[in-house]
């Protein structure tokens, strides 16, 4: 095992735990939702090593998201994560790190999703984008698990800001972008969900062969109250045309039906992606 893979190096608790009171104050002061950005989240050598673990092509990921409101890919299955990525995810799901997050966010009883469903490795290439949205509110397979906060670690090595991809937080009335955070290597952000309106809505302008990479984890609390699940919901921006606004709304309607069907049938995005790849291969053979 290399130095960057040793458990002592996976998260620099000694850098953050002594400053937790100040970090928590800054987190609560974040707008338009409570959040905190980190510019040097992990050891630099570890972050660079993680960046090399991402697939070269979208088809190598488990899930391909390609519709009106997004164009990207992801892998959230433990069996498909490279060993180093899996080790870091395990650390970010460890009791010590979750205790750190509870104190940072002020959310008691925060817990991990052992299945990392919807999280894991996310990636977008030239032309990729993710419209401004709010996240799904309830875990697909656990009706009493309410989503409470996200951790996104950016692993876009040698990223030129001119290529786009920065994370944008928008006001609740969608009147303006309130804060823009870089997606450069080893930058990270923790923020409250599910009402944060966020995304990277402009298509990426990176060269072929380069990609926007991130490692994402979602954290939950148990809520025994009956909660009506809300799927990921997208929002048009003031600059969007009337036609674009119509497409965003229509896509939301389709996604609500898709989300309800997934819950009813116990399907996952990965399963649907496998089905669509099988259909596409059949079409190619017939063609």
- Residue 37 half-sphere exposure toward CB, CA atoms < 13 A: 17
pLDDT confidence band for 1 (50 / 70 / 90): very low
pTM of the model: 0.91
> CA-CA distance, 283 to 232, in Å (whole number)?
30
Query: CA distances (Å), 81 to each of 59, 62, 119, 121, 130, in order?
Result: 15, 10, 11, 8, 23
pLDDT confidence band for 161 (50 / 70 / 90): very high
Nearest to 27 by CA among 37, 17, 12: 37
pLDDT confidence band for 286 (50 / 70 / 90): very low
Nearest to 107 by CA among 167, 194, 197: 194
Segment among 27-31, 93-97, 273-277 with least mean pLDDT: 273-277
Handedness of CA 183, 204, 65, 77 (dihedral sign): negative
Please provide the size of the chain in residues. 287
pLDDT for 224: 83
Q: Which tops the pLDDT comparison, 229 or 113?
A: 113
Quick check: 65 and 73 in contact, CB under 8 A? yes
Q: What is the mean pLDDT of residues 74-100?
A: 97
pLDDT for 243: 97
pLDDT for 7: 45
Architecture of domain 3-286: Sandwich (2.60)
Domain boundaries, the chain: 3-286
Q: Could you report the per-residue pLDDT of 200-250, keeping only the tens digit for each?
A: 999 999 999 999 999 999 999 999 887 778 999 999 999 999 999 999 999
pLDDT for 225: 82
* pLDDT score of 285 more than 80: no
Torsion of CA 46, 48, 51, 52, to 10 degrees: -100
Q: Could you report the per-residue pLDDT of 17-31, keeping only the tens digit for each?
A: 999 999 999 999 999
pLDDT confidence band for 67 (50 / 70 / 90): very high
């Amino acid at each position: 095992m290399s130095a960057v893979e040793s458990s002592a190096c996976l998260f620099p608790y000694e850098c953050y735990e002594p400053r937790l009171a100040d970090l928590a104050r800054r987190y609560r002061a974040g707008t338009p939702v409570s959040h905190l950005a980190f510019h040097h989240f992990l050891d630099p050598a570890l972050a660079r090593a993680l960046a090399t673990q991402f697939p070269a092509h979208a088809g190598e990921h488990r899930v391909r998201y390609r519709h009106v409101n997004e164009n990207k890919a992801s892998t959230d299955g433990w069996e498909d994560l490279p060993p180093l990525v899996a080790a870091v995810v395990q650390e970010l799901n460890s009791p010590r790190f979750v205790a750190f997050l509870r104190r940072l966010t002020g959310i008691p009883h925060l817990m991990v999703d052992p299945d990392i469903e919807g999280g894991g490795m996310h990636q977008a290439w030239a032309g990729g984008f993710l419209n401004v949205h709010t996240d799904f509110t309830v875990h697909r397979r656990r009706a009493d698990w309410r989503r409470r906060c996200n951790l996104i670690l950016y692993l876009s090595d040698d990223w030129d800001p001119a290529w786009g991809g920065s994370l944008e937080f928008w006001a609740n009335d969608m009147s303006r972008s309130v804060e823009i955070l870089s997606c450069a290597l080893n930058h990270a952000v923790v923020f409250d969900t599910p009402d944060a309106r966020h995304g990277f809505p402009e298509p990426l302008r990176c060269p072929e062969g380069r990609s926007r990479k991130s490692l994402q984890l979602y954290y939950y609390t148990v809520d025994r109250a009956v909660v009506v699940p809300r799927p990921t919901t997208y929002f048009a921006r003031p600059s969007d045309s009337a036609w674009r606004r119509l497409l965003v709304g229509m896509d939301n309607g389709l996604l609500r039906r898709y989300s309800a069907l997934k819950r009813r049938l116990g399907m996952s995005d990965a399963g649907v992606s496998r089905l669509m790849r099988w259909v596409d291969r059949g079409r190619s053979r017939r063609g």
